[in-house]
């Protein structure tokens, strides 16, 4: 039997995502009620500009006092889609204190203060759900947290930012330079006026912290994630990648060490073979590859951003939290029992593609090879082209640690025959 008294929802933020959440709650009200077992009612919407016309939202529900809204006491679920650290953090903890569960899409806050927020939710016996914080409409957190709860996840490798994937895809498919591809992404609405959070990897790094924490049952903060942006990727890098049968993607990579005692999380551009499933992810789409002991390899793919896709993930969480509310239970909370060591980038082992500008004269290759050997970095292939006294030397290594590669590059820079290091890129997905 369906309960007639509605569950009341407070919406914090009514921008691109928030307005879609409100629209779906209204247009799909009967279906949502049937799935939950009770009607859901939008009880208030906190915004910064109350005078703005918001289609489908009664003006009497609009307020600028978000704190008063979450303190009402009759709110069952608070949906937070305002983003940022403050006031979102204070509003979420206040919601818990006044009896509400929370659904959030706030990746930055969760990556920075997820442990404290989970502790607050647990203290007050409330839910904290955040599927929309990582990959838009793609179901990812729930499979990691619930479907794979009995498995051992060893690696999470993915494209988790649509803006950067669109830019790199354009550079790959059309030969465009970085700025040209960014300008197109901005014109189409894929990139913000200030794209720094996307192109410098901050957005992906926050998502990597969340994914690593869930996958490895270990607290991983944003500061633990190595981050490298994609603004230095050039058409020449794509040409080199194609020569290797690869393309370039900005990847979030979370790995368990072979000895099982530590984990790493990183975000950076990388070459991946065209045969890898992630290589075929085009445009602004996202995809995440999960590798585990029992399940093997799983891939999750779909639109990773946008109002409607992200709102879909928010509403999925809302349904789950409302069901828990009706049954008097809570869903999975933080799982950090493993408490593995979070290692730095120096411990990461992978292959590297290094492009050097060198003097075009006998003995250069031997000098370069000697430096690699002295630092314990094994060379897989070498390609050299040159004329008029200058040459380009491309070296692809076997697997080596980042620390060893760093020492190698430092020594290479000291050679009189090396004019400069044109680019260094990791090779993943093999």
CA–CA distance, 165 with 157 (Å, rounded to integer):
14
Annotation marks residue 387 as catalytic: no
H or E element at residue 163: helix 162-174
Q: Which residues contact 75 (CB under 8 A, 6 or more apart)?
A: 8, 9, 10, 43, 44, 69, 95, 98, 99, 100
Q: How many residues does the chain have?
A: 430
* Strand ordering across the sheet containing 77-80: 62-63, 40-46, 7-12, 77-80, 101-104, 128-129
Q: How far is residue 28's CA from residue 256's CA, in Å, rounded to a whole number?
A: 41
Of 76, 177, 73, 197, the C-alpha closest to 126 is: 76
* Gap between the Cα atoms of 242 and 248, Å rounded: 9
Catalytic-role residue among 8, 126, 170, 207 = 207
Cβ-in-10-Å burial (0-12, 13-18, 19+) of 135 comes to buried
Q: State how far the Cα of 413 lies from the Cα of 366, in Å rounded to an integer.
A: 15
What the block records as the tokens of 375 is 């630092």
Nearest-angstrom CA–CA distance, 82 and 334: 23
* Dihedral of the alpha carbons of 354, 360, 362, 368, in degrees to the nearest 10: -20
Instruction: Name the nearest CA neighbour of 130 among 105, 153, 157.
Output: 105
Supply the residues annotated as catalytic.
207
């Amino acid at each position: 039997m369906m309960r007639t008294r509605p569950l009341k929802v407070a919406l914090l933020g009514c921008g691109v995502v928030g307005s879609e959440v409100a629209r779906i709650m209204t247009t799909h009200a009967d279906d949502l009620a049937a799935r939950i077992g009770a009607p859901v009612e939008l009880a208030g919407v906190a915004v910064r500009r109350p005078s703005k016309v918001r289609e489908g939202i009664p003006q009497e529900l609009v307020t600028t006092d978000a704190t008063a809204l979450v303190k009402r006491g009759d709110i069952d679920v608070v949906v937070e889609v305002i983003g940022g650290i403050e006031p979102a953090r204070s509003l979420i903890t206040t919601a818990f204190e006044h009896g509400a569960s929370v659904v959030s899409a706030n990746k930055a806050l969760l990556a920075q203060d997820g442990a404290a927020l989970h502790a607050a939710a647990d203290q007050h016996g409330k839910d904290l759900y955040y599927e929309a914080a990582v990959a838009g409409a793609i179901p990812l957190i729930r499979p990691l947290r619930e479907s794979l709860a009995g498995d051992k996840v060893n690696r999470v490798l993915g494209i988790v930012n649509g803006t950067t994937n669109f830019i790199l895809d354009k550079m790959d498919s059309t030969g465009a330079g970085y700025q040209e591809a960014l300008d197109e992404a901005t014109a189409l609405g894929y990139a913000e006026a200030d794209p720094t959070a996307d192109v410098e990897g901050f957005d992906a790094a926050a998502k990597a912290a969340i994914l690593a924490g869930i996958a490895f049952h270990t607290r991983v903060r944003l500061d633990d994630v190595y981050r490298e942006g994609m603004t230095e990727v050039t058409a020449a890098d794509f040409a080199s990648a194609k020569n290797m049968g690869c393309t370039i993607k900005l990847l979030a990579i979370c790995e368990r060490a072979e000895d099982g005692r530590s984990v790493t999380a990183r975000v950076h551009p990388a070459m991946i073979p065209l045969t890898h499933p992630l290589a075929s992810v085009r445009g602004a789409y996202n995809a995440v590859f999960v590798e585990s002991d029992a399940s093997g390899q799983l891939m999750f793919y779909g639109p990773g951003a946008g109002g409607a896709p992200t709102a879909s993930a928010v509403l999925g969480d809302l349904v789950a939290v409302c069901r828990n509310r009706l049954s008097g239970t809570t869903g999975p909370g933080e799982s950090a029992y493993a408490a593995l060591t979070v290692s730095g980038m120096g411990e990461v082992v992978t292959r590297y593609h290094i492009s050097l500008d060198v003097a075009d004269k006998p003995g250069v290759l031997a000098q370069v090879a000697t430096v690699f050997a002295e630092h314990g970095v094994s060379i897989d292939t070498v390609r050299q082209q040159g004329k008029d006294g200058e040459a380009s030397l491309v070296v692809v290594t076997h697997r080596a640690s980042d620390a060893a590669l760093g020492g190698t590059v430092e020594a290479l820079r000291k050679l009189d025959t090396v004019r400069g290091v044109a680019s260094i890129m990791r090779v993943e997905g093999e």
